[in-house]
């Protein structure tokens, strides 16, 4: 028994007429009759009662018809799934995110992928460190990773997505944070380089999606809007020639404990913090290491120390923390997307394209 025989049997069972069935199958009538006789011989059962005036299914034919339809439907589904898999629209893709990307990229990316690739299964993993993400991509437990540039990119294909300044995270009541806007105000959002939420007095704000361009800047294009960049600072840490002061000299934190991600396995953010301090002329006297970005910011709010964090960390929305731009040319960190070198999976390619488009549009 083969698919060709089952297809011919099913069409004949529907038509109950050899001539019409042969026409649908684009076969000569004798060829169709031969296929049915061969199938009956293989099964040892008579499937049709034939007369000069009519064709009828036997009990054995009725039983086979149900099974044949199920088998052909499964084969059609398998063929469709294979086609969608080849197009990158079916399967499972594992995606890992560093801490900051977990909060400001993962939600929007997940929504976008669910809309554009609804049949693709996503295995999302957040709050991972760069070394873990590198290992995950290389050992095939992850397919895509959003992370800081790794120390050793061997075996990886890296695509830069965005660059953002490091800012100082201080307790909100720290006098050195006086020049920074309290958390939640639009100027604090823009100072940190993150997208502002809808205005509190705008009734549409609660209904705006996070990836709606209006949610990023509800005042865009309004000539009455005053620039909300922090006094004395321009874009990305460059001095604003129209104002004096503003920002924070990193040297003023030289005596503070620094809260940072672990240094084990050469954490890129840990090294970025050390490099910034060294450039400012000091070595942190104490470093408190924590794994999760949310814990790091919570420790700052608790007064356990200060931190240098990417501007996008403000998207965490933890109360009691102020994010202050640094004076001079602020150090920056890069967010990259990593996939395996030579990976040709259509699903991975489609996911990577969606992530790249989303992050660049939101930057």
Statement to judge: residues 112 and 131 lie in one domain: yes
pLDDT band at 264 (very low <50, low <70, confident <90, very high): low
Residue with tokens 């969606």: 354
- Which two structure tokens, joined as six digits, stand for 342? 């030579």
Could you list the beta-strand ranges (E) of the chain. Answer: 48-50, 55-57, 91-98, 120-128, 144-147, 156-171, 258-260, 287-289, 307-310, 321-324, 332-340
CB of 348 closer than 8 Å to CB of 93: yes
* b/e sequence 41-80, b meaning 16+ C-beta within 10 Å: eeeeeebbeeeeeebebeeebeebbeebeeeeeeeeeeee
* Beta bridge partners of residue 340, listed in sequence order: 156
User: Could you say which of 19, 51, 86 is where a domain stops?
Assistant: 86
CA 271, 262, 133, 299 dihedral sign is negative
Statement to judge: residues 200 and 225 lie in one domain: yes
- Residues in Cβ contact with 82 at an 8 Å cutoff, skipping those fewer than 6 apart: none
Statement to judge: residues 44 and 172 lie in one domain: no
Q: What is the CATH number of the domain that holds 40?
A: 1.10.10.10
Statement to judge: residues 240 and 122 lie in one domain: no
- 160-169, 175-184, 345-354: range with highest mean pLDDT: 160-169
Environment class of 208 (CB within 10 Å of its CB; exposed 0-12, middle 13-18, buried 19+): middle
Chain-centroid distance of CA 161 in Å reads: 13
- Which two structure tokens, joined as six digits, stand for 315? 């998207």
State the total domains in the chain.
3
pLDDT band at 86 (very low <50, low <70, confident <90, very high): low
CB atoms within 10 A of CB 17: 12
**Helix, strand or coil for residue 99?**
helix
Q: How far is the C-alpha of 88 from the C-alpha of 345, rounded, in Å? A: 7
Structural domain including 220 reads 164-333
CB atoms within 10 A of CB 316: 20
CB atoms within 10 A of CB 14: 13
Statement to judge: residues 236 and 302 lie in one domain: yes
Statement to judge: residues 30 and 51 lie in one domain: yes
Q: What is the CATH number of the domain that holds 122?
A: 3.40.190.10
Q: What is the pLDDT of the chain when averaged over all its residues?
A: 79
Give mean pLDDT, residues 295-303: 95
- Nearest alpha carbon to residue 360 among 97, 166, 162, 102: 162
**Helix, strand or coil for residue 349?**
helix
pTM of the model: 0.59
pLDDT band at 171 (very low <50, low <70, confident <90, very high): very high
Q: What pLDDT, in 10s, does the model give residues 127-139?
A: 888 888 999 999 8
Statement to judge: residues 327 and 217 lie in one domain: yes
Q: What pLDDT, in 10s, does the model give residues 265-294?
A: 656 788 889 999 999 999 999 999 998 899
Q: How far is the C-alpha of 160 from the C-alpha of 117, rounded, in Å? A: 23
**Helix, strand or coil for residue 204?**
coil
Residue 144 is predicted with a pLDDT of: 93
Top-confidence residue, 83 or 254: 254
Statement to judge: residues 243 and 323 lie in one domain: yes
Residue 363 is predicted with a pLDDT of: 72
- Residues in Cβ contact with 67 at an 8 Å cutoff, skipping those fewer than 6 apart: none
* Beta bridge partners of residue 160, listed in sequence order: 336
Q: How far is the C-alpha of 167 from the C-alpha of 325, rounded, in Å? A: 5
Statement to judge: residues 142 and 180 lie in one domain: no
Statement to judge: residues 151 and 193 lie in one domain: no
Statement to judge: residues 126 and 254 lie in one domain: no
Statement to judge: residues 245 and 339 lie in one domain: no
pLDDT band at 218 (very low <50, low <70, confident <90, very high): very low
């Amino acid at each position: 028994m083969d698919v060709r025989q089952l297809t011919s049997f099913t069409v004949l069972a529907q038509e109950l007429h050899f001539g019409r069935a042969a026409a649908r199958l684009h076969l000569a009538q004798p060829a169709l009759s031969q296929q049915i006789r061969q199938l009956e011989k293989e099964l040892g059962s008579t499937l049709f009662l034939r007369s000069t005036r009519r064709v009828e299914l036997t009990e054995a034919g009725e039983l086979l018809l149900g099974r044949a339809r199920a088998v052909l439907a499964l084969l059609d589904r398998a063929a469709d799934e294979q086609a969608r898999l080849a197009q990158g629209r079916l399967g499972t893709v594992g995606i890992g995110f560093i801490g900051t990307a977990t909060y400001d990229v993962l939600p929007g990316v997940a929504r976008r992928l669910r809309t554009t690739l609804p049949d693709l299964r996503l295995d999302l993993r957040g709050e991972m460190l760069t070394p873990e993400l590198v290992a995950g991509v290389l050992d095939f437990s992850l397919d895509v990773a959003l992370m800081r540039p790794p120390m050793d990119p061997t075996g990886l294909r890296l695509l830069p997505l965005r660059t953002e300044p490091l800012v100082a995270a201080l307790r909100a009541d720290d006098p050195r944070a006086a020049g920074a806007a309290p958390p939640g105000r639009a100027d604090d959002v823009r100072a940190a380089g993150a997208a502002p939420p809808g205005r509190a007095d705008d009734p549409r704000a609660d209904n705006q999606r996070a990836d709606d361009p209006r949610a990023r800047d509800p005042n865009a294009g309004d000539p009455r809007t005053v620039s909300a960049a922090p006094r004395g600072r321009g874009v990305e840490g460059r001095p604003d020639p129209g104002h004096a002061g503003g920002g924070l000299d990193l040297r003023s934190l030289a005596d503070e404990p620094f809260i940072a991600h672990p240094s084990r396995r050469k954490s890129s953010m840990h090294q970025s913090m050390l490099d910034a301090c060294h450039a400012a002329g000091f070595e942190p006297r104490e470093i408190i290491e924590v794994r999760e970005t949310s814990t790091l910011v919570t420790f700052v709010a608790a007064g356990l120390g200060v931190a240098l964090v990417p501007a996008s960390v403000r998207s965490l929305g933890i109360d009691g923390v102020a994010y202050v731009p640094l004076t001079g040319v602020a150090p920056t960190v890069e967010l990259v997307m990593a996939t395996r070198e030579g990976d040709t999976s259509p699903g991975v390619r489609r996911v990577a394209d969606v992530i790249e488009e989303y992050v660049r549009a939101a930057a």
